[in-house]
Structure 1
Amino acid sequence: MQDNDHAEALATMDDGATILLRRQGPPAAERVVISHGNGLAIDGFARFAGALTARGFEVVAFDMRNHGRNPRHPAAGSNWRRFIADLPQILRGIDTAFGEKPAHGAFHSLSSAVCLLTQAETPYPWRSLTLFEPPVPPNADDPAHAVFLDYHRNLSERAGRRRAQFDTPDALFASMRRSSLFRLVPDADLERLARATLRPAPQGGWELSCPPEFEAATFRIDEIVALRPGLGRVDCPVRLVLGDESIHYAHVLLDAGRALVRDFGFSAVELPLATHFMQLEHPETCAGLVAPDTPGT
């Protein structure tokens, strides 16, 4: 499906998985590529995408495999290694479907870490990367390292116990609304996120698009520790966006981001009154941080 302002295409990975690509905004404009965090879906970030198009960008969005609107594909080996293998193929699919042009990346959490790790191994000619709290562990000799891994092991255990079936999207929204993690996200954005993370279940009702066992495996982040030293090879402009320490519920993510700044010289900005879900909390402000080398940003 395609018109001047919206288009969709499929990118097929080398193991047969398919990734749905969505483009919106003026086709002749500079491109920003966006994706989401573990267990989420990029359609839930619609206000962030809209804020980018309002700033004059073309936006290309995609869900990570086994998330959002992508068909499920059997897990095979390491989730993280598979994500890192997928991203260059996704980017080639974007260039093939929508034309090659200079692009900026604006990625959240899981996808931001995948982008950074992939850039060290298979560089893409990004004009800039704006990465919202990438969960890359601090170096093994950093006191924050063990705390970071313990935090993510706990997240993995909790994700594995998540309820997978819901009668309606409103039921998931109500559950998310009760969580302190989303306390700063407006109702309309949280409702959108809840709907985006579900799909109709074969037996009726709704089910999580990202199965709990897949989300849990992705939170087992130990395996990317060995990949961290390669980030010294990243040579495109990188800006990290971190939340506000005074209200953040996961200081380990702030410690990890500051360690990336210290060890690799990336730039960073800490956003006041923001937590890990800052693109849902402050979409216009976050959009204004993207593509820092572009006039008017």
Structure 2
Amino acid sequence: MREPLAPLETHVAVMTDGAEIILRRHGNVDKPRLMITNGNGFAVDGYRVFWEPLLEDYEVVAFDMRNHGQNKPAGGDGHNYLQFARDVGSVFEAATNRWGKKKTAGIFHSMSARSALKHAVQMGWVWDALVLFDPPSVPPRGHELYEPMRTFEHKLIEFACNRPDRFSSEEEMLALYREGRASQHWLPEAQEDMARAVLRKTDEGYELSCQRELEATIYLGALTLNLWPPASEAGGPVKLIGADPEMKGGITGRANQALGLEQGYDFDYVPGTGHLLQIEKPAECREVMLSFLHKSRDRLIADPSSLQHLRCP
């Protein structure tokens, strides 16, 4: 496995309930800031194939959501979407206070994308632009996609509760990713990065950084979040980038396509991808994201033609 990428600087941000989240500053500090984090049960360093190529042209502040990755365990009391939304505001404020105010986009995936949208709609807009990769958007009851999404979340609850959570080595976790049906489409480097990123060293070996029961509570919480807002309520430019809605089993892609069409979001999807699209086709995901950042109202990049090295071959 390749070694983790060393940050330029780290900073411990304190959340509203006292939990701590580690911010890692990478990249070009003279450029606009991207704040990037992970989905449920994963860790941001596992998305490195997506965000590492951005470091020449952006300052990247990478952080794990609470109870994930490099953060200390924070317990279950604050492990819910309301506190996650508050955390989004807290990490933005902490980065701004520590490293100064500048043009900043939030780049979120899955669970964190739902948290960022909840924060924007219910707590206030703070970004210059917001990019949401395949949030598990559950439509209102009665919608044709409600029951398929409900079934999907229940399957994930069962998976999380029954997944192995103790390992003798990082290679044991990597073997599960290589053998898994969903993770077999990840780039090989991403499989390695994620296997390292989701584990915490213990005296006996390794354990999942995010306790499997905490992971399961978020899948259940998705069904009661009631978050299907019009894009106009977000308060600023939002890009919704989904998994391929035509892929077999691609219910999250279909749900996000419906959210985009019905509620007025700037929506695209990346063909041939599942829910972990950023580590399946990272170049294509970057291309869609960069195109949006260029045309958003505050233009986080001056000219997309200057970033050809980040685009698809």
Asked if Structure 1 and Structure 2 have the same fold, meaning a TM-score greater than 0.5 normalized by the shorter chain, the answer is yes
Q: Which residue of 2 aligns with 1:130?
A: 131
Q: Distance in 2 between matches of 1:125 and 1:66?
A: 24
Give the stretch that moved more between structures: 178-187 or 57-66: 178-187
Q: Distance in 2 between matches of 1:230 and 1:15?
A: 30
Q: Distance in 1 between matches of 2:268 and 2:229?
A: 22
Q: Distance in 2 between matches of 1:252 and 1:28?
A: 40
Q: Distance in 1 between matches of 2:133 and 2:117?
A: 11
Report the 3-state secondary structure (helix = DSSP H, G, I; strand = E; otherwise coil) of the residue aligned with 2:194.
helix
Q: Distance in 2 between matches of 1:184 and 1:65?
A: 27
TM-score by length of 1: 0.92
Report the 3-state secondary structure (helix = DSSP H, G, I; strand = E; otherwise coil) of the residue aligned with 1:194.
helix
Q: Which runs of 5+ in 1 are unaligned?
A: none
Deviations 1:67-120 (A, max 9, x none): 000000121166111211211111111111111112112111111111111100
Q: Does residue 296 in structure 1 map to residue 296 in structure 2?
A: no
Identity of matched residues, % = 30
Report the 3-state secondary structure (helix = DSSP H, G, I; strand = E; otherwise coil) of the residue aligned with 1:94.
helix
Q: Cα offset for 1:230?
A: 7.1
Q: Distance in 2 between matches of 1:142 and 1:43?
A: 36
Q: Which residue of 1 aligns with 2:61?
A: 60
Deviations 1:202-240 (A, max 9, x none): x32000000000001111112202x43476511311111
Q: Distance in 1 between matches of 2:111 and 2:266?
A: 19
Q: 1:231 to 1:285 in 2, by over 3 A?
A: closer
Confirm or deny: 8 A CA contact 2:32 2:58 kept in the other structure: yes
User: What one-letter code is carried by the residue in structure 2 that aligns with 1:21?
Assistant: L
- The equivalences for 1:174-185 within 5 A come to 174-185=175-186
Q: Distance in 2 between matches of 1:141 and 1:295?
A: 44
TM-score by length of 2: 0.87
- The equivalences for 1:80-119 within 5 A come to 80-119=81-120
Confirm or deny: 8 A CA contact 2:245 2:257 kept in the other structure: no
Q: Which residue of 1 aligns with 2:37?
A: 35
Q: 1:255 to 1:244 in 2, by over 3 A?
A: closer
Q: Cα offset for 1:255?
A: 2.1
Confirm or deny: 8 A CA contact 1:169 1:194 kept in the other structure: yes
Q: Which residue of 1 aligns with 2:163?
A: 162
Q: Does residue 173 in structure 1 map to residue 174 in structure 2?
A: yes
Q: Distance in 2 between matches of 1:103 and 1:123?
A: 15
Q: Which runs of 4+ in 1 moved over 6 A?
A: none
Q: Does residue 196 in structure 1 map to residue 197 in structure 2?
A: yes
Q: Which residue of 2 aligns with 1:268?
A: 267
Q: Which residue of 2 aligns with 1:218?
A: 218
Deviations 1:23-65 (A, max 9, x none): 11111101111111100000111121112223x1111111000
Q: Distance in 2 between matches of 1:78 and 1:146?
A: 25
